Amino acid sequence: MALSPSSLAQRPSYKWWVFATIAIGTFMTVVDHGSVLVALPEIEAHFSSDLPTVQWVVIGYALAISVLLLPMGRLGDMLSRKHVYIAGFLLFVFAAALAGFAPNLGFLIAAKVLQGVGSALIQGNGMATIISAFPGKERGRALGTHLSVVGSGSIVGPALGGILVSALDWRWVFFINVPVGIIAIAAAMLVLRRSGPAEGQAGERPRFDWAGATLSGAALMLFLLVVGNGDRVGWDWAVIGVGLAACGASLGMFIWWELRTASPMLELRLFQRRLVACGVAAGWLSFMGTGAVRFMMPFYMQRVLGFSPSEVGLLLIPSAVSMTLIGPIAGTLSDKWGWRTFTAGGLALSAAATFILAFALTERSPVWLIVLMLVLQSSGTGLFNSPNNNSILSAVERSRYGVVSALTQLARNSANVTSVAVATTVVVVTMGSYGVEPSLDAVSPQVAGAFVAGLKWAFALSGAFLVLGIFLSVFKGERRREPEPAEAPVKQAASAGDGD
């Protein structure tokens, strides 16, 4: 029998063929992000620029992904996820080649924004494709193993970036995506089946919600720009207030429109289901509580303890490995035992590690304590993430897997940005109260006391977010039955996801 999607689909191992195919793309996008971060100093020197400007290579890419995740996830639900996924990869590879040949910094930033559009198509449909290939009783296992791919990519990315920049040139951080991307596209064409489109209330194909996509994109763009730059320009600056007001107005218009249009991009009535509402909120709080620690600890380890960037990279590997190993185990066990124990327990472990850092951190903390607490926190994330996403998707029809999977990733992205912004504000305000320049750039052994005092307050607040997430994880309950597999309208099961 010739190897084709239809013939592969008859095999019991087909779900793992699908997983491996999507894993290539997931791994590639995570590695790309990590390797580009390592290459930024070389890019800065090559174009004779400054770091705030060069950082838009990363910021533009991240903004494009965040703004387009929901629309691209919904597009995959409506059309064929296979075709949308492959289109995203074609765009990703093309933009990577453009970035490698960039003649100036502006061209490079534009190429990375275009690559972010391709990555949104990939990320918005990759996870949905995987979980659609697995039966509901194995969904947690699939999600957990997918998390291990993300963790592996976060380890390999910086290391590969360093090798490419040192041995070849910064341009190869982008060029390497071309041959690997071609392999990923060929695998997707060979393995993935064409999924059928979602259907409307009368069996009609729903229309794409352009208004909803525009309003959600505007709200997200304004929110991320305001939160990401508030500390830099000052929270009392008039532009920040205008930006927040515009963000609130866009969000209000989005909600008003989604509740009235016949074919919404994001069916907001899904949030009437306790598992969805509490699961998404707990996921957001999880990354609100952990994002600040992962951002601030490298500053502490370099600027206070005196470790080099390469040494810090090595010290962060155990925490990434712990999440990579625990994710599949927690996901698999949640299929059998439910998710409440793992989600609440994972957040409790992360909260304990965060509070220990808040109370025990000093200007001369032993490195073993830092590494151990980061490992505990990442282990908690591994315990929490897959079971929590499993609980959310258990309450959602398959016709909504794409947009809801994208929603869980969007919650992670926005929470990480917000967490970093809040923690930075707390730290620099505390430093200012000690009579020290209120800036992370001023952190050094000479002002370590003021910096550590700020970290303690920031980490205590992060722990409080995690405790709130624990209560939501307990409150959302369990669910034993699977949703209807048919592409049924969401309104027919408005309360299907409530817990016991």
| pLDDT tens string 18-66 | 888 888 888 888 888 778 877 877 887 888 877 667 778 877 888 888 8
- The pLDDT confidence band at residue 269, using thresholds 50, 70 and 90, is confident
Highest mean pLDDT among 245-249, 397-401, 415-419: 245-249
Residue 121, pLDDT > 50, answer yes
State percent of the chain over pLDDT 90: 11
Residue 6, pLDDT > 60, answer no
Segment holding 232, helix H or strand E: helix 210-233
DSSP class of residue 303 equals: I
- The pLDDT confidence band at residue 196, using thresholds 50, 70 and 90, is low
Find out whether 490 and 397 touch, Cβ atoms under 8 Å.
Answer: yes
**pTM (2 d.p.):** 0.79
The C-alpha atoms of residue 316 and residue 154 are separated, in whole angstroms, by 10
Segment holding 164, helix H or strand E: helix 139-167
Instruction: Please give the structure tokens belonging to residue 439.
Output: 């800036």
Query: What per-residue confidence (pLDDT) applies to 25?
Result: 83
Residue 498, pLDDT > 50, answer no
Query: What per-residue confidence (pLDDT) applies to 10?
Result: 60
Query: Minimal CA–CA distance to 84: which of 128, 125, 129, 47?
Result: 125
Q: Distance of CA 124 to CAs 22, 33, 70, 75, 128, Å?
A: 12, 17, 7, 9, 8
Residue 489, pLDDT > 50, answer no
| pLDDT tens string 200-248 | 444 456 677 788 888 888 888 888 777 766 666 666 677 777 888 888 8
- The pLDDT confidence band at residue 466, using thresholds 50, 70 and 90, is very high
Percentage helix, strand, coil for the chain under 3-state DSSP, each rounded to 5: 80, 0, 20
Query: Minimal CA–CA distance to 152: which of 360, 325, 6?
Result: 325
| pLDDT tens string 321-369 | 888 888 888 888 887 888 888 889 999 999 999 999 999 888 888 989 9
DSSP class of residue 498 equals: -
User: From the CB of residue 332, how many other CB atoms can be counted at a distance below 10 Å?
Assistant: 19
Query: What per-residue confidence (pLDDT) applies to 3?
Result: 54
- The pLDDT confidence band at residue 463, using thresholds 50, 70 and 90, is very high
Residue 393, pLDDT > 50, answer yes
Query: What per-residue confidence (pLDDT) applies to 217?
Result: 83
Query: Minimal CA–CA distance to 367: which of 442, 304, 455, 443?
Result: 304
Query: What per-residue confidence (pLDDT) applies to 335?
Result: 79
Residue 74, pLDDT > 70, answer yes
Mean per-residue pLDDT of the chain: 80
What average pLDDT score do residues 92-106 get? 91
What average pLDDT score do residues 107-131 get? 87
Query: What per-residue confidence (pLDDT) applies to 234?
Result: 65
What average pLDDT score do residues 115-143 get? 82
- The pLDDT confidence band at residue 500, using thresholds 50, 70 and 90, is very low
Which carries the bigger pLDDT value, residue 232 or residue 420?
A: 420
State percent of the chain over pLDDT 70: 87
Which carries the bigger pLDDT value, residue 109 or residue 234?
A: 109
Helical spans, DSSP H, in 234-308: 238-258, 274-299
Query: What per-residue confidence (pLDDT) applies to 355?
Result: 94
Find out whether 91 and 121 touch, Cβ atoms under 8 Å.
Answer: yes
Q: Which amino acid is at 442?
A: A
